[in-house]
């Protein structure tokens, strides 16, 4: 079946602009995760959804970052007033139940803030 | 929170040799330890995982061992092939609380297999 998809694959924006990154999880997966990966580093946890609700948003760096999953499927990560330090690959993953189990990652969105 | 350390950061081997990557974790209650492979321009892909109730798991040329007392787990790749060249990440979730799926990743190991 289809895996996790993310759009856009690449996004270039200017400092101060607003961006939205979209994630389509595997159908039927109740848990959805956002991670951020800087060059040469491992993914860093941002936020985790169980269904429509954010079960843990402790990884969001500040209030410029926000994510939603209104129908328990597609999720959007929103970044306001982007800064050059926000440049990274934003990865989305989904899993069936949300416990300690396989997380299936999408290809990521490469965000570059000029 | 969980802290995961991974070594080495780079590993270069000849085709056919074995490769071993080691990770240590801090949360003694962690009970699930996945290994991911990431190729250039792609997202991480699970290659093997182990739960805390077993000490070793093997899948063809790949194996993972877990030492809960010492809080470390290792990835073993035997008979390496050039297509094994990639970045490998270990990860661990917190042992308690509601975010069992929240993974903390190691820093990654760049594995290069020379033909």
- pLDDT tens track for A29-75: 999 999 999 999 999 999 999 999 998 999 999 999 999 999 999 99
Please report, in angstroms and rounded to a whole number, the separation of the first and last CA atoms in chain A: 37
Quick check: A45 contacting B, CB < 8 Å? yes
pLDDT in tens, B5-60: 999 999 999 999 999 999 999 998 888 999 999 999 999 999 999 998 889 999 99
Ramachandran region of residue A81, left (φ > 0), alpha (ψ -120 to 50) or beta? left
Q: How close, in Å, is residue B105 to chain A by CA atoms?
A: 6
pLDDT for position B100:
72
Q: How confident is the model at residue B98 (pLDDT cuts 50, 70, 90)?
A: low
Chain A residues within 8 A of B93 when measuring between CB atoms = 100
Residue of B nearest to A9 (CA): B41
Q: Do B32 and A100 touch (CB under 8 A)?
A: yes
Structure tokens at B49: 């995982």
Structure tokens at A20: 């939205």
Structure tokens at A102: 């396989």
Whole-angstrom CA distances from A24 to A19, A91, A105, B70, B90 are 17, 11, 11, 39, 25
């Amino acid at each position: 079946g289809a895996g996790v998809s993310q759009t856009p694959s690449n996004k270039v924006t200017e400092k101060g602009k607003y961006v939205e990154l979209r994630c389509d999880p595997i159908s039927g997966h109740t848990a959805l995760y956002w991670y951020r990966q800087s060059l040469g580093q491992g993914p860093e946890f941002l936020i985790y959804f169980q269904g429509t609700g954010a079960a843990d948003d402790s990884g969001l760096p500040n209030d410029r970052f926000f994510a939603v999953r209104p129908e328990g499927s597609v999720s959007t990560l929103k970044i306001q007033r982007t800064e050059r330090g926000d440049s990274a690959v934003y990865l989305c993953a989904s899993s069936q139940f949300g416990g300690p189990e396989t997380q299936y990652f999408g290809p990521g969105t490469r965000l570059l803030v000029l | 929170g969980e802290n995961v350390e991974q070594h080495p950061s780079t590993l270069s081997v000849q085709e056919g040799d074995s490769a071993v990557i080691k990770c240590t974790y801090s949360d003694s209650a962690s009970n699930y330890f996945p290994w991911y492979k990431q190729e250039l321009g792609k997202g991480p892909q699970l290659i093997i995982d182990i739960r805390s109730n077993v000490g070793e798991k093997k899948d063809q040329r790949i194996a993972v061992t877990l030492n809960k007392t010492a809080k470390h787990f290792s990835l073993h790749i035997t008979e390496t092939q050039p297509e094994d060249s990639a970045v490998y990440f270990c990860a661990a979730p917190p042992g308690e609380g509601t975010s069992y799926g929240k993974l903390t990743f190691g820093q990654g190991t760049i594995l290069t297999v020379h033909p």
